Structure 1
Amino acid sequence: MTISETMEYIQSYQKSGKPVQDLTRIQSLLDELGNPQEQLQVVHIAGTNGKGSVTALCAAAATAAGYRTGTLTSPFIRHYTDRIQIDGTDIPPESLCRFCEQVKACAVSGDCSQFEITLAIALLWFLEERCDLVILETGIGGLLDATNVVKMPLVTAITSISFDHMALLGNTLLEIAAQKAGIVKPGCPVVLSPDNTDEVKAYVAQTAEQKNAPFLTPNMQDCHILSESLCETVFQYHSFSYTLHMPGRHQVYNAMTAIEMIRLLGMHGYPISAATAQAAFAGVRVPARTEILRQEPLVLLDGGHNQAGVMALAELLRRCGIRPIHGICGMLTTKDYSTACSILKSVFDTVICVDDFLEKAVPADSLAKCFAPMPSVRTADSFQNAYAEALAQAKTDHGMVVICGSLYLASEALQKIEPSSEPETRL
C-alpha cells in the first residue's frame, strides 16, 4: 500500500464505529495479530481533560531517562501520524503502510473503528521497535475504550473528569467517572489528578479499594506556585522545583499527576530521577494546549472544547493582564457550545465566530448569538479572514488574539497561520 492508499483505507472507517458493549471486537483483532499488547509494558491514562499533557510529560521524562518510549494520543493535531510516536518522533510512512496492510488482512478488521485500527498499528510498531515503555491515552471513556484491552498495565492514571461525550459516557459526573475508572485493574496502582471533585475522588478511591489497587492523588498542600506567566510556570512539589512552558494553573495539576506516575514507575523497575523529570518537563510543549504562536502581538491557541477546558482558559486569560482580548471561536454541534460561549464572553473584548473548519461546526451566526449581549461580535466566512482581522486589531490596540473552541479549529489554525519570523515565536 502507498501512503495515499493507507490513509484512504484508514479514513474510510468511522472514528468510533458501531457502539460496543464489551472489548470483544478489539480483542478479536489483536488475537489475529498475535496480541502485541501482552508483550509490552504499558502505562494507561484516562480522563476528560489533561490526558495529552500528562502523556507528554511522562513520555518526555521516560525518554530523557533512556527508555525507548512509545505514545498513542488522540486526536491528531497537525497530521494523522503525530498520534503514534516513539521518543517524540512520528511513525514513519513506510511503517504505517506496512502495519496497516497487516491489520487490513485480518478477517475482523472490517468491523472495527478507526481508533481500533490505529491502536493495532501502533502496538505492532511499538513491539517491532522494542519499546521499553508504552503510554496509551484512551480515546473516549475508559471501561469500553479499545485501549482497555491491556490487562495489566504498570501504572494507570485518571486526569481531570468533567462533562464531555455525555451521549456515550453518561449525564452525571459519577456516571462519567465510572467509565473513566474502568481502566483501574486489580493490583495496579492508580493516580488521580488533584483537581477532581470530592465525589469523584471518593468514587475512584472506592473503585481502587474494591480492586485492591493502590490509590493516590497528589496533595495540593505540598504544591507551591513560585511564579506564573504566559511564558512559564514555576512550582515546587515534594521539595523539588519544576518549570513548565505550557501556561495555566491546570498544567500544574497535570504535572503533579505525572510526577506521581513517574515515582510509581520507579517502583516497577523504571527509575527516573527528579532531576531528569525537571529537565524534561521544561522542554514539553503540547500543540494546541494553551500554545503561544507568536509574541508581537501575542497569539494564543487553545483546543479546549468542554466546560472545564474553557474555564481553565478563561482563568488563564484573567490572570495574564493583557487587554483587549480578541477571540476567534469555532465549536462543534456535538459540544455544549452555549455554556462555553457564556464563559468566554466574560473574558473576551471582541469575538469573531467561524465555521469553515469542519462540517459539524456550529454555524457562525448561531455561535455569534451565544455571545450576546457582547457589543463586538461578528462572523467571518473563513478562519483566515478572521485571523487577519483579529491580528490587525491586536497590532493597533496592543491586545492579544485567542483562537479557541475546538481541537479541529486548532488544527486548522496550525496549518493556515504562517510562522512568525520572531526569534521567540515558540516559548
Structure 2
Amino acid sequence: MSHSDAILQRVMGLHPKVIDLSLDRLMRLLDALGNPQDQLPPVVHIAGTNGKGSTLAMIRAGLEAAGKRVHAYTSPHLARFHERIRLAGALIPEDELSALLTEIEAVNAGQPITFFELTTAAAFLAFSGHEADYTLLEVGLGGRLDATNVVARPALTVITPVSIDHTQFLGDTLAQIAGEKAGIIKRGVPLVVSPQQDEALQVIEARATRLGAPLIVAGQHWHAAPEPGGMVFQDDHGLIDLPLPNLAGPHQVENAGTAIAALRALGFGAAEALAAVTKAEWPARMQRLGHGRLVEIAQTQGCELWLDGGHNAAGGQAIAATLAAMPKRPVHLICGMLNTKDVAGYLRPLARVAQSLTAVSIPGEENTLPAEATKNAAASVGLQATTSDDVADAVQSLATAHPGARLLICGSLYLAGQVLRDNG
C-alpha cells in the first residue's frame, strides 16, 4: 500500500457517512487552507447524470490540441486514486499526492469530513500550486451541494443529460434531480446544456434565466447529429463535418456535441473540435481490451473482450445501442452491480441485444449485489442467466462455450476498476 493509500484509508473513518451532501465542512477546511478554490485557472464545471466523464475527456482533448495546459478532477477512479487529479495533463505524482494529503489531514485535525470533500480539497490545493490554462471539474454527485460547487466564478458550466439516479440523495423525480444539477449554474456565467428531457430542461432553463446565465442549449443554439461515415456539428458560427467520436457508441455523438459547444464558448474552433472527437481517452466506457490475462483467455477462442462501467438505466440503453450498432457477433455479458442501483432498469435494454448473462459479485466491495440477486434480476427481464465465482472463470467458460463471441464485462465502475487492475 502506498503512503497516499494509507492516508486515504484513514480519512474514510472521519465521517460516519460516505456521502453527506453539505458544503459547510469543506468550506471550513478550504478556509483553513487559504481558499485554494479561488486561485484556480479558468474553471469549466460539469454536472449531469450520464456522459460527464466522456464530455470532460473530449473537452480536455480539444484544449490540449490547442497547446493548452489542463488540470482535471474526475471521479471515481478505476485502478488508482491518482487518476482523479491531473496536473497540467499528467496524473498527480505519488510523492506530491501524499504530501498534499498529509498537509490536509493535519489542517483538518480529525474534524468530520467526507472522503470526497477531503480529496476535492487536495485537488484544489494541487491545482492552485501549478500553472495551467484551464481547470476541468467533474461534479461527484448532484451539483448544488457537491464538494466541487465552491468555485464562485467558473468560466463556463455544462450540464450533460439528466436521468433518474441516486434518488436517495437527489430526489425521486426528474425535475428534482435536474434542480440539484442546476445548482452549479452561476450568475452571468454561460451554460452549455446537452439534449435533455423536457421536464429537466424546463428546470435548468428557468434557473439559468433567473441568474442571467447565457444559455447554449442543444437543439436550440447548437446541433450534433450522426451522418453517413461521421457526424456534423452546427451552431451560429457555422457547420463542421467530423468523423464519429473515437469513444464507442451512438450516445457519444451528443457528448461530442456538448464538448464542442463548450470549446466554442471558450473561443476555440474546428481544429479543436476535430481533436475532441478523435483524441479523447476515457477508459471503461465501451473500451475494447487489447492485452492482458483476460484478453489472452478470450482470444484463444477468437472472442472479443469489452469493458464498460455504466450502471443506471440510461447507461444500459447506451450500451445496448452501442452493441446494436457494432458488426454482428453473439454478445454475452459478465455483470456485477452495486446493491444501490436499479438493476432491472439497467438490464432491461441489454436483454434485447445479449444472448446470456453471467453474474458475479464485485470482490472486496461491501455494497456489491450478490451474484445470485443479479442473476435473478436478469432472469426477470428475460435474459438467460447463471453465476460465476469470478470474472476470469466467467471469461474462460463463456469463451469455451461460445467461440468467436463478443464478451462484455459491465454493471459497475468498481468492477471495471478491478478488471483493469487484475488484467494488467
Cα distance, 1:179–1:3 mapped onto 2, change above 3 Å: closer
Residue 377 of structure 2, aligned match among 348, 370, 374: 370
Instruction: Give deviations 1:19-57, integer Å, cap 9, x for gaps.
Output: 34x422111111011111111121100000111011111
Q: Which runs of 5+ in 2 are unaligned?
A: 291-298
Does structure 2 retain, via aligned residues, the 8 Å contact 1:285–1:291?
no
Q: CA deviation at 1:227?
A: 4.1
Does structure 2 retain, via aligned residues, the 8 Å contact 1:29–1:109?
no
Does structure 1 retain, via aligned residues, the 8 Å contact 2:360–2:391?
yes
Does structure 2 retain, via aligned residues, the 8 Å contact 1:29–1:108?
no
Structure 2 Cα separation of the partners of residues 15 and 276 of structure 1: 44
Corresponding position of 1:231: none
Corresponding position of 1:402: 408
Residue 397 of structure 2, aligned match among 389, 394, 408: 389
Corresponding position of 1:421: none
Corresponding position of 2:36: 36
Corresponding position of 2:214: 214
Does structure 2 retain, via aligned residues, the 8 Å contact 1:310–1:340?
yes
Q: CA deviation at 1:247?
A: 1.1
Does structure 1 retain, via aligned residues, the 8 Å contact 2:71–2:85?
yes
Structure 2 Cα separation of the partners of residues 15 and 135 of structure 1: 29
Structure 1 Cα separation of the partners of residues 345 and 143 of structure 2: 25
My pick for the range that moved more, 113-122 or 366-375, is 366-375
Structure 1 Cα separation of the partners of residues 137 and 423 of structure 2: 30
Q: Which runs of 5+ in 1 are unaligned?
A: 229-233, 267-271, 419-427
Does structure 2 retain, via aligned residues, the 8 Å contact 1:342–1:370?
no
Corresponding position of 2:279: 283
SS at match of 1:146: coil
Q: CA deviation at 1:338?
A: 2.1
* Aligned amino acid, residue 379 of structure 2: A
Does structure 1 retain, via aligned residues, the 8 Å contact 2:378–2:384?
no
Does structure 2 retain, via aligned residues, the 8 Å contact 1:46–1:158?
yes
Corresponding position of 2:80: 79
Q: Sequence identity, in percent?
A: 37
Q: CA deviation at 1:131?
A: 2.1
Structure 2 Cα separation of the partners of residues 37 and 56 of structure 1: 22
Structure 2 Cα separation of the partners of residues 14 and 286 of structure 1: 31
1:256 correspondence with 2:261: no
| Matches for 1:40-119 after TM superposition, within 5 Å | 40=40, 41-107=42-108, 110-119=111-120
Does structure 2 retain, via aligned residues, the 8 Å contact 1:314–1:344?
yes
1:347 correspondence with 2:353: yes
Corresponding position of 1:425: none
1:327 correspondence with 2:328: no
Does structure 1 retain, via aligned residues, the 8 Å contact 2:285–2:310?
yes
SS at match of 2:49: coil
Q: Kindly tell me the number of residue pairs found equivalent between the two proteins.
A: 404
Structure 1 Cα separation of the partners of residues 17 and 155 of structure 2: 26
Does structure 1 retain, via aligned residues, the 8 Å contact 2:25–2:113?
yes
- Please give the TM-score of this superposition, normalised by the length of structure 1: 0.89
Does structure 2 retain, via aligned residues, the 8 Å contact 1:356–1:381?
no
Does structure 1 retain, via aligned residues, the 8 Å contact 2:30–2:36?
yes
Structure 1 Cα separation of the partners of residues 109 and 241 of structure 2: 50
Structure 2 Cα separation of the partners of residues 149 and 23 of structure 1: 8
Q: CA deviation at 1:109?
A: 5.8
Cα distance, 1:27–1:108 mapped onto 2, change above 3 Å: farther
My pick for the range that moved more, 202-211 or 340-349, is 340-349
SS at match of 1:105: helix
SS at match of 1:160: coil
* Aligned amino acid, residue 216 of structure 1: I
* Aligned amino acid, residue 371 of structure 1: A
Instruction: Give deviations 1:147-168, integer Å, cap 9, x for gaps.
Output: 1111110000000101111000
1:240 correspondence with 2:248: no
* Aligned amino acid, residue 31 of structure 2: D
* Aligned amino acid, residue 285 of structure 1: E
SS at match of 1:152: coil
Structure 2 Cα separation of the partners of residues 214 and 404 of structure 1: 38
Corresponding position of 1:144: 145
Q: CA deviation at 1:97?
A: 1.1
Structure 2 Cα separation of the partners of residues 81 and 42 of structure 1: 20
